Structure 1
Amino acid sequence: MNELEYLDAAEQLLLAVEQTCDRINDETDADIDAQRVGGLLTLTFANRSQIIINLQPPLHEVWLAAKSGGYHYKFDGSVWRDTKTGNDFFADLTRDAGVQSGLALVFQA
């Protein structure tokens, strides 16, 4: 994957997360504050817990930091996969957002 392909795929991922937060806020009682500065997206839940998603262009990775730990994802051509477990980024985000918010939230590409 070259730099432009990485940046395009990573931008699509961040946009999907932001759009999902908007949808969740519109359709549920959840209150997710999604703040983006460049390649850093911070999700703050009503209880003030946070999940941070950060692009890592030199490594062609996306990093996710949640209460459960820190995770590194690489794009496999179709989905972003954790470099250790192989888990899908959106499955992990769904799990961690649900635990941290106390609500059944679903994030998807």
Structure 2
Amino acid sequence: MTESEFLNASDAVFDRIETVLDDGDFDVDLNRNGNVLEIEFDDGAKIVVNRHVPNQELWLAARAGGFHYRWQDGAWRSTREDGEFFAQLATLIQQHAQRLPAF
């Protein structure tokens, strides 16, 4: 994937996250600044989604740890274990919002 394709794909991921959380009336604050999207919860917890352009990866950071994902076989797959980006993000959001978003 070219850098331009990666940027477009990761923009689409950020857009999808914002749309699902806004349309689902999740009580979160979203702050998108360049390569970073922060999701802040009422309990003070944050989930940070970061696109790492040199490695063409999406990174998730939360209290539960840090996770890296790369586009493989039509999905954002974990680089370290068996897992998919949106499934992990939904689980992390549920821990603080008490409900599961439908990505």
Bin of the TM-score, shorter chain as denominator length: over 0.9
* Aligned with residue 104 of structure 1, among 90, 99, 103: 99
Q: Residue 14 of structure 1 corresponds to which residue in structure 2?
A: 14
Q: How many residues align?
A: 103
Q: Residue 81 of structure 2 corresponds to which residue in structure 1?
A: 85
Normalized per residue, the structure richer in helix is 1
RMSD: 1.2
CA contact (8 A) 1:73 1:83 kept: yes
Normalized per residue, the structure richer in strand is 2
Q: What TM-score comes out, normalization by structure 2 length?
A: 0.93
- Structure 1 stretches of 4+ with a deviation exceeding 4 A read none
* Aligned with residue 71 of structure 1, among 67, 71, 76: 67
Q: What TM-score comes out, normalization by structure 1 length?
A: 0.88
Per the TM alignment, residue 107 of structure 1 is displaced from its structure 2 partner at its CA by: 4.2
| Identity rate, percent | 32
